[in-house]
Amino acid sequence: MSEKPDLNAISHDLFAVRNEKLAQLRAAGEDPFRANWNQTHVSTECPALLPEGVEEGPEVSVAGRIVALRVMGKASFVKILDRGGIIQTYFTRDALGEAYDTHFKKMLDTGDFVGVRGKLFRTKTGEVTVRTAEYRLVSKALRPLPEKWAGLTDAEKIYRQRYLDLVVNEESRRRLLVRSRVVEAIRRFLWSRDFTEVETPALHAIAGGAAARPFETHSNALDCDFYLRIALELHLKRCLVGGLDRVFEIGRVFRNEGVSVKHSPEFTMLEAYQAYTDYRGMMELVRSMIQKVCADVLGTTVVTRPDGVTIELGGEWREAKYKDLIVERTGDPQWFARTKEEKIAACKALGLHEPRTDWEDFEVTNEVFGKLIEPGLIQPTFVTHIPKELCPLAKVTVGDDTTIDVFELCINGQEIAPAYSEQNDPGVQRKMLEIQAGAETQKIDEDFLLALEHGMPPAGGLGIGIDRLVILLTGAANIRDVILFPTLAPEAQA
RNA sequence: GGCCGGAUAGCUCAAUGGUAGAGCAGUUGACUUUUAAUCAAUUGGUUCCGGGUUCGAGUCCCGGUCCGGCCA
């Protein structure tokens, strides 16, 4: 560098200042974008390498993004963020010579990626720190990080530029790492029960397995329309037909419906099917799974929400019949004998928004459940004996042909997991699907019914909303907070 | 889809219809154990977009975009 750089003139333009620094580095023969570093240690390993009472630890080689720069005259502290967390490094003129003034102090910015090699020591306040013997700039950040204290709080920026949120908001990083560990623990649990993981199509000719509005798309090669799947169910049952008698899939499903704190257009479902058991068997399976996952990931079975409410996931879980809960909440023992009009009137008296008159009778009742009962089910509760119209894929209860052998597991005021004794009578299944489809007979999945006609073993089936489970285990306020890159409308082009 | 709230410097936020400011970041200087380091000086604006009212609009009105909350 022969000319003195004029950063003063452009000091207001942070992008230009950093570009100028990059240009000067390149002019001096250094290109940070062609450099690399041998990362031998992660930040979180370092404290254990320097036991209490030991003055100097082994040499380590760490790398990461500069998240704090405390530059002083001839000695400075630099905090580096890697996949484990933050490690402090110590830069001195004594160790680095002239480069300390001309390179370290002038060319590095927060956000830059650096590699640092040196021995561990403890500062006078006790923080384990790398005494830098050698360092290298291995990527330049041309844009600044958000402000160090207030951080990034703008919800739109947090979602659109999640990478910035991950760099500066430790809680966001933790939440999304918990999510990863939850999925890992679920797989381990199901493998221990001898389940096989499979992958089934996301493009469906008929969107079945649930009642939801699908996204539509088109295949040019096959010249036909497809739907993005709204459930995993029907293909996993085909696996049962094929003899895979314990199968599961963890996959993205898509529902073209409302977006809210609890609903995302794309979300992740676990579905598991086990032959030669029923919904009672699924109760044991889901309770054991959630308890194991929670203990593995959090080290406890007690979850504390941000508002201080604690949820006990250990032990046995409450069971309650759907009809009993309705009768209890409405205070009307004869509720299920009432006409639809009487139920609608009662809903209004209970303070509910007026149910739509085109609703079916069971939908009016389910409005009471969804609005007045489910939000209050904070501790784990298996809601059983649900009206058969709500799930046409389950077996009807022996001795009560108005209900089905299913449960909906509710925790934290949300439905976390439904499970069924799966319907395997092809004749009954056809009738139920015909009732559900009504006039839209083209929505009946004939290929699925053909599979059932070949014989499906008796089985219990289970679905878990992974996002909601992670909300429960992380105390997140919003489903978008447990999804790395949530669905947003495109930003207007500048 | 409806209602309510929000959008101002890189970030976090101020600003009775009357000269758009602060902190942090940046730039310059001092400083060899900091912890939001400190001290001094200093640069920085299409107030989301498009119209309108007004002598004068970040502020009021109309339309739109995006984000959030509640409801459907």
Distance CA A52, CA A39 (A): 25
Count the alpha carbons within 13 Å of A437 in the hemisphere toward its beta carbon: 19
Residue A124 has pLDDT above 80, yes or no: yes
Distance CA A410, CA A312 (A): 13
* Distance between the alpha carbon (CA) of A123 and the C1' atom of B22, Å: 35
Q: Is A311:A305 a contact under the CB 8 Å cutoff?
A: yes
Residue A115 has pLDDT above 60, yes or no: yes
The nucleotide minimizing the C1' distance to residue A144's CA is B10
The nucleotide minimizing the C1' distance to residue A147's CA is B11
The pLDDT assigned to A1 comes to: 39
- Give the model confidence (pLDDT) of A477-488 as tens digits: 999 999 999 999
**Beta strand spans in A93-228 (E):** 113-122, 128-139, 196-197, 203-204, 216-219, 224-228
- Does any domain span residue A328? no
Q: How many CB atoms are closer than 10 A to CB A402?
A: 14
Show which positions of strand B are touched by protein (CB under 7 A).
1, 6, 10-13, 23-28, 30-37, 42-45, 65-72
The nucleotide minimizing the C1' distance to residue A149's CA is B36
Chain centre to alpha carbon of residue A375: 21
Structural domains in chain A (count):
2
Closest residue to B9 (CA to C1') is A12
A118 and A31 in a common domain: yes
The nucleotide minimizing the C1' distance to residue A77's CA is B34
Span A399-403, average pLDDT: 92
A194 and A78 in a common domain: no
A396 and A282 in a common domain: yes
The nucleotide minimizing the C1' distance to residue A74's CA is B32
Closest residue to B1 (CA to C1') is A258
From residue A102, give the alpha-carbon distance in Å to each of A2, A66, A139, A143: 13, 18, 18, 21
Span A8-16, average pLDDT: 93
A173 and A53 in a common domain: no
End-to-end CA gap in chain A: 36
Q: Is A385:A397 a contact under the CB 8 Å cutoff?
A: yes
Closest residue to B25 (CA to C1') is A147
Which residue among A114, A145, A176 closes a domain? A145
- Does any domain span residue A150? no
- Does any domain span residue A374? no
Q: Is A181:A189 a contact under the CB 8 Å cutoff?
A: no
Give bridge partners of residue A217 from the DSSP assignment: A226
The pLDDT assigned to A214 comes to: 95
Q: What domain range includes position A412?
A: 167-317+379-482
* Distance between the alpha carbon (CA) of A157 and the C1' atom of B13, Å: 16
A118 and A238 in a common domain: no
* Distance between the alpha carbon (CA) of A160 and the C1' atom of B15, Å: 29
**pLDDT band at residue A493, thresholds of 50, 70 and 90?**
low
* Distance between the alpha carbon (CA) of A147 and the C1' atom of B10, Å: 8
Question: Of how many residues is chain A composed?
Answer: 494
The pLDDT assigned to A336 comes to: 93
> Given the structure tokens 């021995």, which residue do they identify?
A119
| Helix intervals (H) in A307-441 | 322-330, 340-349, 361-368, 426-437
> Rounded to two decimals, what is the model's pTM?
0.94
A261 and A172 in a common domain: yes
- Exposure string of A337-373, with b = 16+ CB inside 10 Å and e = fewer, is ebebeebbebbeeeebeebeeeeebbbbbbbbbebbb
Query: What percent of chain A lies above the pLDDT cut of 70?
Result: 98
Which residue among A81, A114, A145 closes a domain? A145
Distance CA A432, CA A421 (A): 15
- Give the model confidence (pLDDT) of A279-306 as tens digits: 999 999 999 999 999 999 999 999 998 8
The pLDDT assigned to A492 comes to: 66
A183 and A103 in a common domain: no
The nucleotide minimizing the C1' distance to residue A108's CA is B26
At A468, list the tokens.
């909601």
Residue A436 has pLDDT above 50, yes or no: yes
Q: Is A337 left (phi over 0), alpha (psi -120 to 50) or beta?
A: alpha
From residue A493, give the alpha-carbon distance in Å to each of A139, A212, A320, A489: 28, 32, 52, 12
Chain centre to alpha carbon of residue A191: 21
* Distance between the alpha carbon (CA) of A449 and the C1' atom of B43, Å: 72
* Distance between the alpha carbon (CA) of A230 and the C1' atom of B72, Å: 22
A409 and A463 in a common domain: yes
The nucleotide minimizing the C1' distance to residue A122's CA is B33
A182 and A140 in a common domain: no
A420 and A295 in a common domain: yes
- Does any domain span residue A492? no
A417 and A286 in a common domain: yes
Q: Is A444:A433 a contact under the CB 8 Å cutoff?
A: yes
* Distance between the alpha carbon (CA) of A494 and the C1' atom of B20, Å: 24
Residue A314 has pLDDT above 50, yes or no: yes
* Distance between the alpha carbon (CA) of A489 and the C1' atom of B52, Å: 29
Closest residue to B44 (CA to C1') is A12
Span A129-158, average pLDDT: 95
Closest residue to B26 (CA to C1') is A11
* Distance between the alpha carbon (CA) of A223 and the C1' atom of B40, Å: 72
Q: Is A320:A383 a contact under the CB 8 Å cutoff?
A: yes
- Does any domain span residue A416? yes
The nucleotide minimizing the C1' distance to residue A371's CA is B71
- Give the model confidence (pLDDT) of A363-398 as tens digits: 999 999 999 999 999 999 999 999 988 888 999 999
Span A175-181, average pLDDT: 97
- Does any domain span residue A209? yes
Phi, psi of A276 (to 5 degrees): 65, 30
State whether the Cα torsion A201-A255-A252-A218 is positive or negative.
positive
The pLDDT assigned to A77 comes to: 98
The C-alpha torsion from A214 through A215 and A218 to A222, rounded to 10°, is -40
- Give the model confidence (pLDDT) of A350-370 as tens digits: 888 877 778 888 999 999 999
Residue A332 has pLDDT above 70, yes or no: yes
Domain with residue A92: its CATH number is: 2.40.50.140
Distance CA A4, CA A144 (A): 23
Closest residue to B71 (CA to C1') is A353
* Distance between the alpha carbon (CA) of A369 and the C1' atom of B18, Å: 58
**pLDDT band at residue A494, thresholds of 50, 70 and 90?**
very low
Query: If 0-12 CB within 10 Å is exposed, 13-18 middle and 19+ buried, where does residue A253 land?
Result: buried
Query: If 0-12 CB within 10 Å is exposed, 13-18 middle and 19+ buried, where does residue A201 land?
Result: exposed
C-alpha Rg value of chain A to the nearest Å: 29
Span A194-198, average pLDDT: 98
At A119, list the tokens.
């021995």
- Does any domain span residue A2? no
DSSP assignment of A278-316: -HHHHHHHHHHHHHHHHHHHHSSSEEE-TTS-EEE-SS-
At A36, list the tokens.
């690399």
State whether the Cα torsion A327-A472-A264-A418 is positive or negative.
negative
* Distance between the alpha carbon (CA) of A403 and the C1' atom of B12, Å: 55
Helix (H) / strand (E) element for A253: namely: strand A246-254
The nucleotide minimizing the C1' distance to residue A355's CA is B72
- Does any domain span residue A323? no
State whether the Cα torsion A233-A236-A240-A246 is positive or negative.
negative
Domain with residue A307: its CATH number is: 3.30.930.10
* Distance between the alpha carbon (CA) of A258 and the C1' atom of B61, Å: 32
A90 and A12 in a common domain: yes
